[in-house]
């Protein structure tokens, strides 16, 4: 995927997803959400990819949802076409089969911070600021800012951003656990590549399973994680092979309970 406002570039075991609408500080609109969903399809379909990096083009990581994209929507359109659709896309990013590293090359505000929040690891450049300013517009964070971010960062930190409108510098964010590392301006993508190489050197099956288990332990989509792990386990059994063979040969299955 090379055109549009979301790019995917695969280099060996690493996929780099770039939100590329720099003239609007990478503010998200419906088309970009659709492209992010397509980017997930591309990453998931490439068996060679073991880790992904998410970053922005230009001065910002993402300024969040484009107000012009949703400001004129009816309440029904806003709730369904914007908020719920955004939820589905962000959930896809959060549950990618591979670890996801966010390279915060610029400010991550509102939906931009929610976007960064889907990642497993966040590396921020020293000049950036992050926050959830939505209540200043009479709005609330709508793409899991009050849900996933609470589970990942803690309720009190989210309260300070949402209720008090506090914004944090990169170093403050690191101290609070909002980001995992701070690097010099211009260095986030390279630092993410270095960390990605570290991740990619580890067992891909173990990474995928561990990511599911950690998410489950953190209260994120427990049912999906349990079903995915159970299905993977069942798919490796001799019983499944026998069941499929029996179906194809139109005969009763002879299960032996072999794992």
- DSSP secondary structure string, the chain? --STTEEEEEETTEEEEEE--GGGTT-B-HHHHHHHHHHHHHHHH-TT--EEEEEESTTEEE--B-HHHHTT--HHHIIIIIIIHHHHHHHHHHT-SS-EEEEE-SEEETHHHHHHTTSSEEEEETT-EEE--GGGGT----SSTTTHHHHHH-HHHHHHHHTS--EEEHHHHHHHTS-SEEE-TT-HHHHHHHHHHHHHTS-HHHHHHHHHHHHHHTTSSHHHHHHHHHHHHHHTSHHHHHHHHHHHHTS--------
Largest CA-CA distance found in the chain, in angstroms, rounded: 67
Rounded distance between C-alpha atoms, residue 104 and residue 192, angstroms: 9
Per-residue pLDDT reduced to its tens digit, 111-138: 999 999 999 999 999 999 999 999 998 8
Least confident range of 14-23, 42-51, 132-141, 193-202: 132-141
Same domain, 193 and 243: no
For all residues of the chain together, what is the average pLDDT? 91
Predicted confidence at residue 112, as pLDDT, reads: 95
Q: Is 108's pLDDT higher than 80?
A: yes
166 is catalytic: no
Which residue among 35, 57, 125, 134 is the active-site one?
A: 134
Same domain, 143 and 33: yes
CA quadruple 1, 6, 126, 131: dihedral sign: negative
Q: Is residue 76 part of a domain?
A: yes
Residue with tokens 């076409």: 81
Q: Is residue 16 part of a domain?
A: yes
Pick from 23-27, 185-189, 250-254 the range whose average pLDDT is largest: 185-189
Predicted confidence at residue 92, as pLDDT, reads: 94
Task: Give the residue-averaged pLDDT of 80-107.
Answer: 92
Same domain, 174 and 186: yes
Same domain, 184 and 209: no
Rounded distance between C-alpha atoms, residue 12 and residue 9, angstroms: 10
Task: Give the residue-averaged pLDDT of 169-179.
Answer: 98
| CATH number, residue 127 | 3.90.226.10
The token duo for 102 is: 């966010």
The token duo for 227 is: 């079903």
Task: Give the residue-averaged pLDDT of 244-257.
Answer: 88
The token duo for 40 is: 């997930």
Domain extent at residue 147: 6-200
Same domain, 10 and 119: yes
Number of domains in the chain: 2
Q: Is 3's pLDDT higher than 60?
A: no
Same domain, 25 and 146: yes
Q: Is residue 170 part of a domain?
A: yes
Predicted confidence at residue 135, as pLDDT, reads: 92
Q: Is 109's pLDDT higher than 90?
A: yes
pLDDT band (50, 70, 90) for residue 216: confident
Same domain, 77 and 181: yes
Q: Is 236's pLDDT higher than 90?
A: no
Which residue among 57, 114, 125, 208 is the active-site one?
A: 114
Predicted confidence at residue 4, as pLDDT, reads: 80
Q: Using DSSP bridges, classify how beta strands 100-104 and 167-169 pair: parallel, antiparallel or unpaired.
A: unpaired
Same domain, 228 and 123: no
Higher-pLDDT residue of 2 and 79 is 79
Least confident range of 13-22, 208-217, 222-231, 245-254: 222-231
Same domain, 193 and 209: no
Predicted confidence at residue 228, as pLDDT, reads: 74
- DSSP secondary structure string, 119-170? SSEEEEETT-EEE--GGGGT----SSTTTHHHHHH-HHHHHHHHTS--EEEH
Predicted confidence at residue 195, as pLDDT, reads: 98
Predicted confidence at residue 222, as pLDDT, reads: 64
Same domain, 58 and 115: yes
Predicted confidence at residue 99, as pLDDT, reads: 97
Same domain, 196 and 68: yes
134 is catalytic: yes
Report percent pLDDT > 90 for the chain. 68
């Amino acid at each position: 995927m090379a055109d549009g406002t979301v790019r995917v570039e695969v280099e060996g075991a690493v996929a780099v997803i770039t939100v590329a609408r720099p003239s609007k500080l990478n503010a998200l609109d419906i088309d970009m959400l659709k492209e992010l969903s397509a980017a997930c399809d591309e990453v998931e379909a490439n068996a060679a990819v073991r880790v992904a990096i998410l970053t922005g083009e230009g001065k910002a990581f993402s300024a969040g949802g484009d107000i012009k994209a949703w400001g004129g929507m009816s309440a029904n359109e806003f709730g369904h076409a914007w908020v719920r659709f955004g939820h589905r896309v962000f959930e896809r990013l959060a549950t990618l089969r591979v670890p996801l590293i966010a390279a915060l090359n610029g400010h991550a505000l509102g939906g931009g911070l929610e976007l960064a929040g889907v990642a497993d690891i966040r590396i921020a450049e020293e000049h950036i600021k992050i926050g959830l300013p939505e209540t200043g517009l009479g709005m609330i964070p709508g793409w899991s800012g009050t849900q996933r971010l609470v589970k990942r960062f803690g309720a009190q930190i989210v309260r300070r951003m949402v209720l008090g409108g506090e914004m944090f510098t990169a170093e403050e964010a690191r101290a609070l656990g909002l980001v995992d590392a701070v690097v010099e301006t211009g260095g986030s993508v390279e630092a993410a590549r270095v960390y990605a190489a570290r991740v990619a050197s580890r067992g891909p099956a173990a990474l995928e399973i561990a990511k599911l288990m950690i998410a489950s332990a953190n209260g994120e989509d427990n049912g999906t994680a349990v079903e995915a792990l159970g299905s993977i386990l069942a798919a490796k059994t001799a019983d499944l092979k026998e069941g499929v063979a029996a179906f194809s040969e139109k005969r009763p299955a002879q299960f032996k309970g072999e794992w």
